[in-house]
Structure formats: structure tokens, C-alpha cells
Structure 1
Amino acid sequence: MLSYLKKNTITAGKVTILWLMVFITVNDLYAFQQEEAPERSPVVWSVEIEGNETYRNIVLMNAIANESPSLVQKIFKRFDNFLYTENEVRRDQIRLRRYYERRGFHNVEVDYHVTEGDKEWKKNILFTVIEGVPLSIHSTEVNIQADSSISREIRETRDFERAISRHQYREGRRFEPIRQPDVEGAFLQALGNLGYAWPEIEIQTAVDSLAGLVDVKIRITPNSKTYFREFQVEGELSIPKRMLLRQSGLREGDLYTRDEIQNAQRNIFNHHLFRFATITLPEQEYDSTLSTLIRVREFEPRTIEASVGVGMEEIIRGQAQWEHRNINGRGHRYSANARASFIEQRLSSDYLVPYIFNSKSRNVTSLFGLHRLEEAFELFQVGLNSSLIYQIDRNKTASLSYEYSLNEELSRDQQVDLPDTVLSYDKSSFVLSGYYSEGYSRGQRGWVLQPSIELSGTFGESTFKFQKLNLDVRKYTQITNSLTLANRVNGGVIFYTQPDSLPSNIRYYSGGTNSVRGWGRQNLGPKAPAFTENGAFDSFIPLGGRATFLFNIELRQTLDRIIPNFGVAAFLDGGQVWQNIASLPSRPLQFGAGGGFRYQSPIGPVRVDIAYKLNPTEEDLRIYNGWDYGSAWDRIGIHFSIGQAF
């Protein structure tokens, strides 16, 4: 007992000493903070704007120089870029006033008031704006200085009518001096597309400051129509000049238009040989003919590229490619490609002819050999593919391709009752496909449509005769600057007369990194049990089917303000695979939900997704004949890849 009391007395003494040390340390820190701090340069602690009705604070903040530090910068006292000066505040007062005046608020008043925070060096700046009544456009008159026939011809064109109906100086709008270059540009663009290379635009305004009204006169002098006379080329060319002009689509004697210049530049830039292309009008006399300067820069004629990637499905994938961009000086391209992962290995050689009957058409012919190792089957394939690709315009493309291949397909598990253990067959099919994208930029915006139809064995030259229809529809909606709603619907059906002999490689599968993410690769849909050599249950093998449907709904939030290049996502996926159309009622849709992280790397978004199966079947949970062979992990799908899911 005495030993016990002694031991606890010693322990209590140690605790008391420890508390005294903590108290002394805290007391010293408090005393240190109470000491008179050295003089500090004044810092802009907060900036506010009030009285503004037309423009939000976030817009006006971009027009001034003063800004306040973020919460993190305040905590770590990073104030070097936020020092306060009276002169800079006065400049911001002038900046705000000019911002409004350039946008029609001729009577705007801007004042400021500076107060101190809880410390003398903390400066709070408040700008007060009294906008006043802006100038309004009372009348707009557009005069064309040309013969009545030319004037009538110009006014009746669609481009000019659009410029008239959309320009910023229309009657009843607020008069904004800053918009004058936009108005001039709208009419220059319209006249440029009508063949007038040297038009003149003059804008005159009469301002009644008391009434707040402005009368606008737009005087247009089109001058003469202009035709292409000569094409100069700057830069080293490894192909004849005539081939460059053929690719551009420009010809001597054609009527000049701005759209033709832009299309020609785009056509050259789309050619695989050129890394840089611009088309400009050099200094010259303003008459009915003009000279055009084409500047180009080519890629290296021969290149070798290699890349390596990782993912949950393919584990490791690599690719190497050798490319010759200018075979025989005709701009044709030849490439040899090797690609390998734990699922697929492919060797191919491609020959590209960039010009068939115009600069929008091209042909690619490929010889290939392929080996695929899926969970349900193993495929060996060699074949030939030839595709005619036609770019209708910037956001529409159509293609027609023909493929002939020799195939040998093996079942991965001899115990699984698949249609054939070893199946050798020929495939001969035509594929007609299309692509439409609502937006022009690289970022995903608006609608994207991708329909296709495959016809196999049409002329009896294929082992299997079938028709395959697919449709992929996507919609990307920008909710805020950092939040995007992405949607996808995908479906397909195979029309085939025989009951169950269609090869596994031709069937539909679903589930995986870019599909319904609660399931592993190809694991959503009908399955068959596989057994060990001793006859014990091992796993379920996907069978695929002749009809499929899936959808994805995903919210993508970027976090650039907190962590640069970082983002998060939440999603709901759903889908199913059916053995045929008649079995649709027997297999309801299955759903997976989850979230993930995104990092925008130089090679694309690095993506990690975790999904949970909401309504799995017994096969999904590895339950066979009432026995549970699975675990809690069978409800979860983890996916790592590079690139968005869709």
C-alpha cells in the first residue's frame, strides 16, 4: 500500500510540474504579445465598394489595383504585396470613374473613405459610387457611301443584316464609348465577307449631356471588291507550293473574303506537316486585286514518340511510334505504332493521304495485328482497315470505313459454358459514323453527338452477318466558372438472326473506369459461373450481350482558388447489358454512385474515382447457390486513370 501511495505521489508531482511549465510558457507568450510591436508599414486589410448597381463587386475589383490579402496570407502575415499608399487609392478612384465613363455613365461620382482596424496599420478602404443616369442612344443611322445598287446588295446580305441587328450602338441601348472598336469590327467583318478588303468605317456621335441622349451616325465606305491575285509563301517548304495552295483552298482570281482567309489558315494548320500557319495581307495599294502572304513552319520530317501511363484496368500501358511526315515530297504520312498493356497489345502501320478530293477529305489505311486478354475471352486478330474521313466544318465530321480481319477467339475458362471454346471467324464490315460538337474550344462545352452504324457480312464475305447501331450523346453545362454538370447517355443494339453464336469480341460489355464505375471492367450485365479444376466455384465471368444502355451524371468542381489544378467530382452512373432485346424486362438498370478527385496535369486530368453499387445482383456480390464467396469490397469500385470519364 505504501509503495502504491508513493508511486502515485511521484506521478502527481510530475503532472503538477508539467502544468506549471505549460502555464509559464503560455504566460510568457501572452506577455511577449503584449509588448509594444515594432512599427509596421500600413497594409490594405480590406477593400469594399458600395453604391454600385450596374456592375458587381467582383467586376469592379478587377478594374482597381488595391486588393486585400486572403485569410491564409493574413494568418502567415504575407503582406509584402498589399502595402497601403494614399496615392494608389486616389488612382483607384480615377480608375473606377473612368471605368464607368467609358461605359456611358458620364455623371458618375466616386469617393473613398479609409478607416483603421483594430491595429493602426490595418487600413480598410471603402469606395462609394453614385452611378447617375447613363447616356442612352436616341437614334442610330447607318449610311453606305456607294451606288444605290451596291448599297442595296450589301444591305440584303445575311452578314450585314446580322451586323445591323447585333451591333452595340443600336437605338435604345446605353452608349458606351469603349464599344466603338467592337462596332467597327462588326461592320468590317460583314463587309470583309462580302469581298471588300479595304472598307472604311467612321462613327460620329452627337451627345446631349443635359438630356442624356446620343445620336449615332455610322458611315460606311466599302470601296471596290477585291480578288486574289498573288500568293507569297514565307518559310521553308518541303512540298511544292501548288500543294500548299491546294491544301489552303485559295485560288487566283477568287473573290476575297475574311472567312476564306480563316478557313484557308485552318486547312493548312490541320495538315499534319505544318506546326504553324498564318495568312495576312501585306502592305500594298488599295485596289481591286490583292497579294496574300502565307507564313508556315513545318514539323520535323521524322519523329519518334514514346509514352507510358498507368491505370487500375490496364495497370501499365506504353506506346511507341515512328512517323515520316512527307513520303516522296507529297505530304503523305507513314507511321509505325506499337502499343501494349496488360489487356491489349497491338502493332500497326498507317498510311495517310491528306487530300482526296478537297482539303477537308483524307484517307487512312492501316495494317494491324492485335492480342486482347479479357476476363471472358482471349482474342488474336490481324486485319486491314481503310477510312475515308470528311470534315464538314469545324464541329462536324463524318467517316466511312471498311475493315477485314481474321480472328481467333478462345474462352478463358474451359469450365465456363460459352458458345464455343475456340472460335475462328472472318469479319468484314462497313462502319458509317459521325461526330458533332457544339463548341469549338478544347474545353468541353454544350452538346456532343456521336452516332454510328456497322454493317457486317453484307455481301456474304463474313462469317457472321449482323448490324450494329450505336449512339453516344453528351451535354456539358457550365453552372459557374468553376462548376460543370456533365451528362452522357450511351446505347447500342445488335441485330443478329442466330440465337447465341455471336463471338464475344463483337458483343456489348459495360462497367469500368469510363463506364458504370461501381463495377469493374466489363463486369456489369449477365454472367456465368466459372469453376476450378476440382469443380469448386471460382468466380463469375461476364457474357456480354446484344443490347446495352448506360448513363452518367457528374458534377465537376475545380478548386483552383484553394489548390491550383485540383478538383473534385460527384457522380451517379447507371446501365445494363441484355443478351437480346427480348430480355430487356428481365434485367432492370443497375446504379452506382460515388465521388473522386481530379488533378490537371500537363498530360491530362489525373483521376481517382470511388463508386458504390446501389443495387447489385447476387452475381455482382459473388453469391452462388446461396453461398457467399464475396466480401464487402465487392460493392465498391476503385478507378485510377488519366483523362475524364467522358
Structure 2
Amino acid sequence: MFGRVLWFSPVVFLLVLFLSVSAAQAASGRPQLQLTGEITQAENKALILQVGLSVPPIRFTCDASPVLMRRYLQSATLAARDALRAMGYFNAQIQTHLKQDPDCAIPTMDITPGPRVHIAAVDVVVTTSAGDDLTRQAFLRDYLKKARPAKDALLNQGVYVALRDGIMERVRGAGYLDAKWRRHELLVDPKTNTADIQLDLDAGSRYHIGKITIDQSIIKPLLAQNLVGAKTGDTYTTQTLVDMNQNLSSSQYFSDVRVRPQWDQRTAHQVPITIRTLPNEPRSYELRVGYGTDTGARFGGKITQRYVNRSGHSWKADLSLAQRKQTLGATYTMPKISDPLNQHYDLYEVFDREQDTGITTLSSTTGLRWVRNFNSWTSSLYSEYLVDRSQFGTNPAQTTGFWLFGARLGRQELNDPLFPTKGFVFSSGISTAAKPLLSSTSLLRAHVMLGGLYPVGKWVFKARTEVGGVVTPDFNSLPKSLRFFAGGDQSVRGYAYQSLGPTDSTGQVIGGQYLFTASAEVMHPVYGRDWWGAAFVDTGNAFDALNNIHLNTGAGVGIRWRSPVGMVRVDVAYPFDGDQRTPRLHLGIGAAF
């Protein structure tokens, strides 16, 4: 093995290709460095790369003097020894010579790496000026669990450097800007092939945010200050600066936001912050096209007026034209000046027309809602007036009105909003109306949906359940939008959209007072990272009585494509109940639950 030249090993040859000169260089008579010895063994691929990247390039030709070539070998030996030590080999043996060749002398290094150093101890001390131990704080404790080398682990100086720099980066990022090392050493004993890591950091005192100056003229200064999400006196951290930038950028008022801490002006452990902004275009336009089995082909557009006045008011108008449903809506939004990141008020108007499964509806909804975000939850209270004209099959059209008061609560945590593989979605709502308050009848309606994804290896398991109910003394007075239906792409696949539910004497589906659906699905990649296969089973129905529940079940397989605009879903489902038991195709875009 010691006498084997590197180019004779196909596996190793690929790893040290960078050590060979190009064809043009070879043609010009330039020699190439060769490695021999134990380092050429297959298990030493990382060492070959490390040495190859460290040795200096050969810049002389074959007619160079032997003295010049030996000087090169001396410098290459020093570089190779440093590279080996960086990987934990402190007892490597390196012998050099010029191998004679009829056309050109070949500089050669014969390397025996020897035993590798093991880590005997890792001591990390990080204290503040008050003597507090920062290694117990979450921001550093969690990092050390992952980055601290284990006892008896093989030495790699890159791991030591990453640990040292990572500690300093996180401590300064937590606001300890004056942190400095008392000691940072990697002590190696070549005789015992052991190493000790000793890191002792004086974090000093923590800094806080000083005066915040925002350069902008679009909105009121108080609104801009509250949009930042931080105030003078808050703890200074890198994450705080990132959050300040994101809060202002996502407000839609600015096209560019630059948050600049003024470190050179820091005094009394406070850092002034200067924020530069560029105003966004006041208006944006959006066009949409798509197709879904539930809605058919669809076309839509939206106009958004990002800011109307210095109070930050905005409005948007949205038009959606689909084969089965057409919607025109407008919303006027007013942020709460004292808490614009978490609270706003909406005035809205929505006109709907829908014709599907033998039901035709025309409706208008006018409302006011208060939206509040807290701890990743989104909640809203609303009051709206619904006017609906519905016709079920050949029955006479019926016009009803309801003054609804309600609340909604939801939360979504997904690892990827376009193609999630882990997380959950929760949404719920409750509404009520009273006949004496301008309503056709009294009612109490509730609806809850919960869905989740959980990965196990390359498999992703997905589940969803949905329940709902409405209590009213006159169910016949309820419009379609307040009744429950099942079936479709996001309900029970294998059945047409809203085709499941109680029927009238003519067989027309008219919806029910209660709803229950459940779904289980499994996904697995079938081609690369973008194409996935799926298998699923869905069950559920809408019904009028809790003591008379009949669930319709469907099952099938599908394909999921991670497209640039989100998940594209193609499913083929077979219905196990009903008169028409033929497979049904379901198409959709988006990570549906």
C-alpha cells in the first residue's frame, strides 16, 4: 500500500483530481504533485481533500531546477502538516522526494497519518459581569447541546473553531456586545493523542435598545413607532432587529426597510436604532386563473390600495369568477394605532352568486369585524347582515335576512405554507341570530375543523376532522350558506361537491343541521423531492338528527406536485356508498385541509 501511487486508485483519483494539472498545463510541461502512502487508502478521502486544498499550487515547469522543486516540497510539507493537524493527526509522518521520470521530475509526498487525537475534556464558561451563567440560558444551552463535542470524540479543529465562534456570535446576538474571551484554547498532547478544549468568555453587561429613529413620511409617526414592535429600553438582540425589519416590511407601506444599529453611538448600555425606509407603490393589482373540481375553471383579480391616509387605512376589492360560483368583495381596513401589529378593524361587503347541485343562491353580506392576534392565534368578533335568496331545485325561491353576531378563532403552524409536511391547522366559529333582531328566525351555529401532518421518515401522515351544527326552530328558513353539506375536494372525495346531505321529496340535496367528516392520508415521495404519491380514505355526511347518522366513505390514490405556486393535487377516489359507484377525479391547487 505504501508504494501505491495515487493515480492508480480509481476511487481516490476522483477525490484528488484537483491535484492534477489541466490538459493544457500538462501539455506545457508542468509537473504535478503526487501523494503516496497510507493517506491514499479509501477511508482517508477527507484527508486527501484537506491536504489537496492546503498545499500550494505548482507554478514552475519541468525544466525547473531540483533546488526549486525541493523548496516547493518543503512548503508543501508544512501546509500538509497543518492540514493534517486540523483534522486531528498530530503524529503524521511525511517523507518527500523527487520521482524521476523520462519527461519530468515528479514531486512526491509519502504520508502516514498515524493515530488521531481524541477529545479528553470540553470546558465552557460564559458569565456576565454580574456573575450569571449564560450556559443555562436557552439561547446558549440549546446550541451547546448540539455543537459541544462529546468526550472521546475524534478531534477536528473545524468543530472547535465553529464552537468558539458560535458561542461568541450567540452571546453578542443576545445583547452582550462587549463580550470578550478570557481564554480560548485547544490544548493537544501529541504523546497521549488527547486534546482539551477550554473556553472562558466574559459576556459583560447586556445592552438595550436606545432611541429609535424612523425615516418615513407615509403614516403617522406614532403608528410607525408601534409597527416596529420594539421600544426604547427593550433588550437588544439580533432577533429583535430582524423582527423590527419584518414587522415594517410586512405592513405593506414600505418597499424597502433598513434597520441599522448605531454601535459607535452606544452609551449607558443602550444602542440607538436608525431605520431607513422607501415608500411602497400605493396600489397593486393581481390576476388569477385556476381550476378546481369543486368550482370548475376560475378567473379572478384583486386591487389593493395599500394606504389611504396617514392613519394607515387601506382597502381592497376582489373579484372571483368561476363556473359554479361568482364573488365580488370589498374590505376597508383600519389598524388600531396603539397596537397595529395585532389588531385592526374591517368594514366589508360581499356579493355571492352560486349555482351547483340544483341549488341557486344570491346573497349579500355587510359587516364589521374586530381582528386580534395573540400568541400565534387569530381571533375575531363580528356583526354582519346577510340577505340571501335561495332556490332549492324546482321549489320557489325564498328570500331571508339574518343579523348575525359571531366569533372566530384559528391557528396555523406549518413548516411550509406551499407544501407542508409537518404542522397543524385549527379553525372554529360560532354565530347567532335572534328573530326579534331583524332575522328570519333565531339560530345558533358552530363549526370546528382540525387538521395535522406528521412525518415519519420519508412518509407523511395527514389527518383531518370537521364537525358542525346549527340549532334553530325553523330550519326551512335557513339559506344554503347557513346549512351543512359534505362531499368534494376538501371534504369526502369520491362524491361531488356538496352532494352529500339530507334531501327533499324530489331527491334534491338541501343540506343538514349537523356535519361530520374525517380523513386519513399518507404521502411518500416517488420522484425526487417534488413528486409525491398519496393514498387516502375519507368519510362523512351532513344529517338532520344526531340519532340517525349515515356516513358515506370514499378512498383512492393521488399525486402531489410541488409546483412554484404551491401543491398541485390530482386524486382519483372511489365511492363506497350511493347509487353511482364510479371513480371520481378531483383536481386542486393548494395545501388543502
> Given the two structures, how large is their TM-score scaled by the length of structure 2?
0.74
> 1:245 aligns to what SS in structure 2?
helix
- 553, 556, 563: which one pairs with 2:520? 553
Which residue identity is paired with 2:292?
G
Q: Does 1:573 align with 2:523?
A: no
Q: Decide whether aligned partners of structure 1 residues 381 and 151 sit closer, same or farther in structure 2, where only a CA change above 3 A counts.
A: same
Task: Find the aligned partners of 1:577 and 1:99 in 2 and give their Cα distance.
Answer: 66
Residue in 1 aligned with 2:473? 498
The question of whether the paired residues in 2 share the 8 Å contact of 1:316 and 1:342 is answered with yes
Per-residue CA shift, 1:268-326, capped at 9, x if unaligned? 23212234444343562665232334344443111222222223332221212222111
Change (3 A) 1:155 1:571: closer
Assess, with a 3 A threshold, how the Cα gap between structure 1 residues 89 and 498 changes in structure 2: closer, same or farther: farther
- Measured against aligned partners, the alpha-carbon deviations of 1:467-522 in whole angstroms (never above 9, x if no partner) come to 33333232223345xx4424122221314153743433212211112222111101
1:424 and 2:391 are equivalent in the alignment: no
- The amino acid that maps onto 2:479 is P
Provide the C-alpha distance between the structure 2 equivalents of 1:457 and 1:474, rounded to a whole number of angstroms.
29
Match in the other structure for 2:254: 274
Superposed displacement of residue 208, structure 1 = 3.1
Paired AA for residue 96 in structure 1: A
Match of 1:602 in 2: 564
Report the 3-state secondary structure (helix = DSSP H, G, I; strand = E; otherwise coil) of the residue aligned with 1:239.
Answer: coil
Deviations 1:34-57 (A, max 9, x none): xxxxxxxxxx9x9869xxxxxxxx
Whether the aligned pair in 2 keeps the contact of 1:468 and 1:492 (CA below 8 Å) is no
Pairing partner for 1:339 from 313, 320, 342: 320
1:305 aligns with 2:286: yes
Aligned amino acid, residue 187 of structure 1 = I
Trace 1:47-446 onto structure 2 (pairs within 5 A). Answer: 96-97=46-47, 106=89, 135-144=117-126, 147=129, 150-152=130-132, 154=134, 157-163=137-143, 165-169=145-149, 171=151, 175-180=155-160, 182-184=162-164, 187-188=167-168, 191-192=171-172, 195-201=175-181, 203-231=184-212, 233=214, 238-240=218-220, 242-282=222-262, 284=264, 288-358=269-339, 359-393=341-375, 396-414=376-394, 421-437=397-413, 439=415, 443-446=419-422
How many correspondences in the alignment? Answer: 511
Q: Hey, what's the Cα distance between the residues in 2 that align with 1:175 and 1:441?
A: 41
Change in Cα spacing, 1:192 to 1:242, as seen in structure 2 (3 Å) is farther
Matches within 5 A, 1:468-617: 468-480=445-457, 483-498=458-473, 500-501=475-476, 502-528=478-504, 530=506, 540-561=507-528, 565-584=530-549, 587=550, 589-613=551-575, 615-617=576-578
Alignment-mate amino acid for residue 431 of structure 1: A
SS at match of 2:187: strand
Instruction: Choose 447-456 or 240-249, whichever is displaced more.
Output: 240-249
Q: CA deviation at 1:350?
A: 1.0
- CA 443–643 in structure 1, closer or farther in 2 if over 3 Å, else same: closer
Structure 2, unpaired ranges of 5+: 1-6, 19-30, 51-83, 93-111
Residues 579-611 of structure 1: CA deviation (Å, up to 9, x unaligned): 232223xx1x33222223344443333332211
Out of 401, 421, 431, the residue aligned to residue 455 of structure 1 is: 431
The question of whether the paired residues in 1 share the 8 Å contact of 2:446 and 2:469 is answered with yes
Aligned Cα root-mean-square deviation (Å): 3.9
CA shift, 1:388, in A, is: 2.9
AA paired with 1:271?
Answer: S
- Give, in angstroms, the shift of residue 430 of structure 1: 0.7
8 A contact 1:335–1:350 mirrored in 2: yes
* Offset of residue 184 of structure 1: 4.1
CA gap of 1:255–1:513, structure 2 versus 1, over 3 A, is closer
CA pair 96-300 structure 1, distance change in 2 beyond 3 A: same
Per the normalisation by structure 1, the TM-score is: 0.69
Residue identity opposite 1:477 in structure 2: Y
In structure 2, the CA distance between the partners of 1:186 and 1:328, relative to structure 1 (3 Å rule), is same
Letter in 1 for 2:450: V
What is the CA–CA distance in structure 2 between the aligned matches of 1:529 and 1:178, rounded to whole Å? Answer: 78
Greater Cα offset, 130-139 or 273-282: 130-139
Deviations, residues 240-270 of structure 1 (Å, cap 9, x unaligned): 5553332112323433233322322232232
Determine helix, strand or coil for the equivalent of 2:204. coil
Question: Would you say the 8 A contact 1:453–1:467 is kept in 2?
Answer: no
The 1:453/1:640 distance shift into structure 2, 3 A limit, reads closer
Cα deviation, residue 171, structure 1: 4.7
State whether residues 486 and 554 of structure 1, in contact with CA within 8 Å, keep that contact through their aligned partners in structure 2. Answer: yes
Deviation at 1:452, TM superposition (A): 1.1
C-alpha separation between the residues in 2 aligned to 1:194 and 1:447?
28
Aligned to 1:41: none
The one-letter code of the counterpart of 2:465 is N
Alpha-carbon shift at residue 387 of structure 1 (Å): 3.2
Q: After superposition, what is the alpha-carbon deviation per residue over 1:209-233, rounded to whole angstroms, capped at 9, x for unaligned?
A: 4544321211212233323234455
